[in-house]
Structures are given as C-alpha cells and as structure tokens.
Amino acid sequence: MTTRPGFVLEIDRSSPPMLFWKGEGFGLEHLPPSSRVIYPPEPLPPLSNPRAAIRRALEEPLGDCKPLSALLKPDMKLTIAFDDISLPLPPMRSPDIRQLVIETVLEMAAEAGVDDVVLIAALAVHRRMTEAELRHALGSRVYDSFAPYGLLMQHDACDEDNIVLLGHTEAGEAVEINKRAATSDLLVYVNINLVSMDGGHKSVATGLSSYRSLRYHHNPATLANSRSFMDHHHSELHHSNWRMGRLIAKSGVSVFQIETTLNTNTFPEQFGFLQRREWEWSVKDRAAYLATSSLLARTPLQLRRRLFHSIRSPHALASVQAGEVEAVHERTIHHIHRQQLVRVEGQSDVLAVGLPYISPYNVNSILNPILVASLGLGYFFNMYKGKPLVRPGGVMIIHHPTPYEFDIVQHPSYIDFFEQVLTETKDPVEMSEKYEEAFAMDPWYTHLYRTGHAYHGVHPFYMWYWCTHALEHLGAVIIVGGDKRAVHRMGFKVASTFNDALEMATDVVGADPSVTYLHTPPLLLAEVQ
C-alpha cells in the first residue's frame, strides 16, 4: 500500500474554497489566485502488529546499547518515565501507545524478576494529569498495579527533596533532574514523537528537570535562535538539551530511550473531510462538512468544547525504535520526515493558518489567548526546516476566535500574566527580566501546580518566549475573528474576515502579496528551499 506524499497546490479560478480550522469549528475560505496551499502527506500505513514491533525494537536496540532484556536484573531499580497529556494531539484512542510500550517493558521486567519499578509522568512544568487521564494513557491494569501503592508518580519540578544536581555542562548549564530517575539503575523513557521537536535528549533533560535547569534553554535568547525548533540541528533549544543529555549519560544515568512515531490519521472517519483535499471531497464528505458545520453553528461554545475535547484520534503506530538516545532519535526524525515533510519552493509575503481547538497545553481545557499566540506563532510558524514559510517582515494571518477566556484551574498564572504582565510589556526579554522570577517562585501558583492541575507559574512566560522567533521575524500578526480586547492586549491586529486581513496585510507587505496556506492539522513540516 502506498500513500501519496505532501503536495503544494497553486490556487486558480477552478480551485474550491479551502477549509480553515477556527477553534471549535471550521469554515471555507476563498484564497486569492496563485496562492499556495501546502497539504500534508496522507497517513502512512500503520504497523500491522504494534506489540510485536515494540518487543522487536526493545530487543534490537539502536546504537551502543544492549537489548532491554539484557539490561534488566532482579535487584535493580527501574524507572519508567513517559510523556504526559501534551502528547499526542488529540489524545488517541485506547489503547494509548504508552500503554502498549509500558506493558511490554513491564512484562519483560517481570520476566527478569525486577521488583523495584516506578512510573513517572514526565511533566516538566506542565499540569499534573488526572486519574482518568493516567488511566487512559497507561491502561487501568498498569494504573491499578502502581497508583494505589504510590509507585506512579508525576514529576514535580519544585520538589526540592526529589531533585538532584548532576553537574554542569561545558556551557555552564546546571543539570538537575528527578532524583528517582537519576538514582535508578535504568531509566526507560517512553516517547510519543508527534513532531520532530519531541524526543532525543529533550525527553529527560526537559521532561524530568527542575525549573532552575529549564531556565537555561527556555528563555527568549535561546528560543529566538531556534530556527526552527522543529529542526534540532539548527535549534539552540535542542543544542542546550543535547549538552544536558550527554552530561546526564556521562554522570552515569543509564537511559534506555524508546521513541514512537504515529501516522497522521488524526480525526475519526466522521470528520474524514478534515484530512482530505477539498477538490477530492466526495458527496459524503460534502454532506458531512455541511451537516457538521451547520450543527456546530447552532451549538453553544461550552458544548462545542466538550464535543471536540471528547474526540479520540485514530492515530496508529508508524514506527518504534529503542536504544541509545541519539541513534534512536535520528531514526525517529527519519520516520517523522517520511510522514510529515513537504518540500516548498521559496517564501511568501503572507502565511495563513487556521488554528484548531487544541494545543499541547490545553487538553481538556480552553485555548486561551496566550495559547493561541503560542500555537500560531510558536508551533505553526515553526513548522519549517530551512527557512520560514513567510519572508522576513511578512505577515501571518491566523484564524481563531480567540475568546477572552481562561481556565482558572489549569491556567491560573496565565490570568495574572495577561492582566499584569502583558499590560506592561510585550517584549519577551523585558518580561523575563522583570516578572518571570516572581511568577515562577510564587507560592500560590506553586501550590496549585504541585497539588492541583495547574500549569507552573512560569508557564505563560514560556508560551510567550515560544513566539520570540516569529515576533522578531514577522512584520504583523492578524487574527481573523478574534476578540478585539484579547488580541489587542497581545499587540496583534484583528480582522473580521479573511479578505479584510489580506487587505490589512498589504499595508505591511505591499500590494498583491503572495500567500501560502499551511493546510494543517493533520501536521506537516515544510522544508523551504
């Protein structure tokens, strides 16, 4: 079975309107003639027997590494860390890929007679997962065998008693990670590599680190020089993580990296039209689009959110590789490129995107204005290898309603960041100097992060730093359909229609701008020549 690769369509008069995500909904927009539309490759065929593939990967490790079964000893201390709720997007149907991998690892550990096993959700400064979310990621069998005995932990970047300093990198970066992970005989890290940014040394060095260590790479200077952070060879963020990862390995922490890639079969069949090319829509697709969009138009926002957040993606395992971190990661990048890479000729004046309802940081929550910025300017803008899709000084047009809304449970510090920091400055460097520490050290945010389901106090800053590269590169950001107050607070412009936005863009980039539309999700990575 072969799948069609990604594709760049040039709009002409006969082209149908294009589908844009608009938060908890979508719509069709006519693009001006000669605009480019970049489609992702179609989903790769899944591995036919995932469990067998996983077991094979564990037994045939890449790089300088013994098979997992040879690393497991009866008296050893084994820690299995796994990616948190931010991956994959949307959450996948049961069984989650983490469940399959961890069950296999646990079976092998049981076969080897390992008793001391602890599971750790690698949160970094993300929110703690709920019981239901953990059950979904791990399966109830694993959950019930670990959680009641306190053997299922969620990493706590503020728990001084469970953080250990391993040393400093050649660049002077202090490396602090989770004590249990650092003091285990073997640390198995289970990744879901949804995009090329995920995995590699970033898994342990970021996912299990302290706030103090995160500061070395999660800062405006580093993120401005990650071009893009989807390409780890040109990403300061990754260079720092790689230095830390090598130091972790050097300091004796033995990491067995497991990375998995998924195909881009992102939405259930009833939403099939979302991942098909518009001019190929069948009668059924058209009917489904019409029915869904007219239904959504009549549904209140709260209900729409509920509807969308209940979507479980039919993602399927496309590859699995295990062993030494760097060797594994190179193979993973190869698989991701195979699924997501699209070659594009040159930059354009305008980059148009439509943002969906979900980003890594609002699973089961609201995509608040800061997350809109981070998803558009942090993630979608950076979905390139080589050069950005939009020329320097160009314009990015983002579709999203951007309501002035926050989730007080998950994003408490975002509210204060939006009201207190963004009203004072929008400059990432200035805010990092003036405000970051107060938010990061705030006892109330820390309390909510450690005991509730709140992102760490510093998280909104990271989301804003995430946009640094785009903010420096772009001449203007226009949000179509956004809430005026919210959008203006962030220093962007609002347009009521896509055509208005294009019209406004001409003030920045001149008449007859060239337009590129990144037709995503499903995800794609543009390799710009």
Partner 1 sequence: MVITQTLAGKRICITGATGFLGTAIVERLLRSVPHCEIVVLIRKGRRSSAEERLQRDLLRNNCFDRLRSELSNDFEEVVSRRLSVLSGDVTKDTLGLDEDGLQTLSSCDVVIHSAATVSFDAPLDSAVEVNLLGPARVRDAMMKARSLFKDASASSQAEMISVSTAYVTGNRKGDAREELSGEDTLASQLNWQEEVAAARRLRSDADAESRRPERLRAFFNQAHLELGAAGTQLIAKRAESLRSQWVKDQMVEAGRARAQMLGWPDAYAYTKALGERALVDFSALDSASPIPSITIVRPSIIESAFKEPFPGWIRGFRMAEPIIISYAKGLLKEFPGVPEGIVDVIPVDLVAAAIIAIAAERLRSSLEQVPPPRKEDASSRSTAPLAKASTAPASRKKGGSSLRTEGRTASATTEGSPQEPNASCTVYHVSSGSTNPLRYGRLVELVRSFFGEHPLYDTHGQPIMVPAWSFPGRGRVQRQLERASKILSAGREVLARLPSHSHLGDLPVKLENRSTEVSRALEYVELYGAYAETEARFRQDRLIELWESLTPEDRSEFLFDPRSIDWEMYVSSIHLPSVVLRSRVRTAPSSKRPSRSRSKLEGILSPDRKAAVFDLEGTLVDTNVVESYLWVAARLLPSGLDRARLLARIGTSLPSWFLLDKRDRSDFLRSFYKLYEGAPLERIADQVGELFVNVLLAKAYPEGLARVRKHRHAGHKTVLVTGALDLLTIPFRALFDEVIASSMSVTNGILSGQLTSPPPIGEARSIVISEWADAEGIDLDEVVAYGDSSSDLPLLSIVGYPVAVNPDVPLASEARRQGWHMEHWTKSSSVTHLLPRPRSSAKSAPELALGIAELLSRSNKGGSR
Pick the closest to residue 409 from 373, 363, 477, 474 (CA basis).
Answer: 363
Q: How far is the CB of 423 from partner 1 (least distance, A)?
A: 13
Q: Does 451 bind partner 1 (CB under 8 A)?
A: yes
Q: Which is nearer to partner 1, 72 or 448 (CB)?
A: 448
> Smallest gap, in angstroms, from Cβ of residue 356 to partner 1?
15
Could you count the other beta carbons within 10 Å of the beta carbon of residue 66? 12
Q: What minimum distance in Å lies between the beta carbon of 416 and partner 1?
A: 6
Hunting for tokens 């705030």 — which residue is that?
442
Residue count, binding to partner 1 (CB under 8 A): 30
Cα–Cα distance for residue pair 15/89, rounded to 1 Å: 30
Shortest Å distance, C-beta 400 to partner 1: 16
Stretch in the footprint of partner 1 (CB under 8 A) among 60-68, 170-178, 437-445, 455-463: 437-445
By CB under 8 A, tell whether 405 contacts partner 1.
Answer: yes
d(CA 369, CA 520) in angstroms, rounded, equals 20
Length of the chain: 529
d(CA 375, CA 343): 22
- My answer on whether omega of the bond before 90 falls inside 30° of 0, hence cis, is yes
Binds partner 1 (CB under 8 A): choice among 36, 135, 201, 473: 135
Smallest gap from Cβ 408 to partner 1, in A, equals 4
The residues facing 176 across adjacent strands are 165
Binding status of residue 436 toward partner 1 by CB under 8 A: no
Q: How many CB atoms lie within 10 A of CB 110?
A: 12
Task: Pick one of 218, 238, 243, 453: the residue that binds partner 1 (CB under 8 A).
Answer: 453
Position among 227, 305, 335, 391 found at the interface with partner 1 (CB under 8 A): 305
Asked if 93 is part of the footprint of partner 1 (rule: CB under 8 A), the reply reads: no
| 452 touches partner 1 by CB under 8 A | yes
* Residue 407 contacts partner 1 per CB under 8 A: yes
Fill in the per-residue mask, 342 to 371: x = in contact with partner 1 (CB under 8 A), - = not in contact: ----------------------xxx-----
Secondary-structure breakdown of the chain: helix, strand, coil percentages, each rounded to the nearest 5: 40, 20, 40
Give the per-residue SS3 of 5-26.
CCEEEECCCCCCCEEEECECCE
Q: How far is the CB of 92 from partner 1 (least distance, A)?
A: 14
Nearer to partner 1, 212 or 447 (CB): 447
What tokens were used for 239?
């260079």
Residue 525 contacts residue 336 (beta carbons within 8 Å): yes
CA–CA separation, 410 and 523 (whole Å) = 25
Tell which one of 393, 409, 424, 472 touches partner 1 (CB under 8 A).
409
Q: 3-class DSSP state for residue 272?
A: helix
Q: Contact residues for partner 1 (CB under 8 A)? A: 130-133, 135-136, 302, 305-306, 309, 364-366, 405-409, 412, 415-416, 419, 442-444, 447-448, 451-453
